[in-house]
């Protein structure tokens, strides 16, 4: 299970990053970030015009995604459009995992097993196993004897 404070951060997006830190992390200049904000592509948290801009974690991710598309040669407007779609997909995945994900187990730093709980009709449990060394996914079910 996730540590409660980490889970809280992930679910509530309360982590804030300043404009200088975001610029250093992403390689996007503060001037560009202010321009993107002026155009409505990103949004900062600021109490007034004099306080330093701060950005929530989803905006940090969006900046990284936009920057990646710009580096691939897309125009700013197309990069923003593609990043919005990617973020929408990520939110769907997040919603799916919040509902379906039950547990994680790491074995010998080689295998990652994700449990997705009940799998009907035979009271089985669904697992996805990832072998890091082989870079291979395996899908499994196992009968839950407790039911």
Closest CA to 78 of 89, 66, 90: 66
Q: 3-class SS at 90?
A: helix
Report domain extents, the chain: 4-98, 103-143
Bridge partner residues of 112 (DSSP): 106, 130
Looking at residue 1, what is its pLDDT? Answer: 44
Highest CATH level, class, for 4-98: mainly alpha
Closest CA to 95 of 83, 103, 85, 87: 87
Looking at residue 144, what is its pLDDT? Answer: 46
Cα–Cα distance measured from residue 107 to residue 116, given in angstroms and rounded to the nearest whole number = 17
Looking at residue 5, what is its pLDDT? Answer: 59
Number of Cβ within a 10 Å radius of residue 44:
20
**Which tens digit of pLDDT belongs to each residue from 3-53?**
565 556 556 667 789 999 999 999 999 999 999 999 999 999 876 667 788
């Amino acid at each position: 299970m996730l540590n409660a404070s980490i889970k809280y951060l992930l679910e509530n997006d309360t982590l804030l990053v300043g404009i200088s830190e975001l610029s250093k992390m992403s390689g996007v200049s503060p001037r560009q970030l202010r321009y993107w904000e002026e155009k409505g592509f990103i949004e900062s948290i600021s109490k007034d015009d004099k306080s330093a801009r701060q950005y929530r974690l989803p905006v940090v991710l969006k900046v990284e995604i936009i920057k990646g598309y710009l580096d691939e040669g897309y125009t700013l407007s197309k990069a923003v459009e593609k990043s919005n779609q990617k973020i929408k997909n990520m939110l769907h995945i997040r919603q799916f995992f919040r509902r379906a994900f039950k547990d994680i187990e790491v074995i010998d730093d080689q295998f990652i097993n994700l449990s997705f709980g009940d799998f009907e009709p035979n009271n089985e449990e669904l697992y996805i196993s990832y072998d890091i060394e082989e870079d291979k996914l395996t899908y499994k079910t196992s009968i839950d004897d407790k039911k």
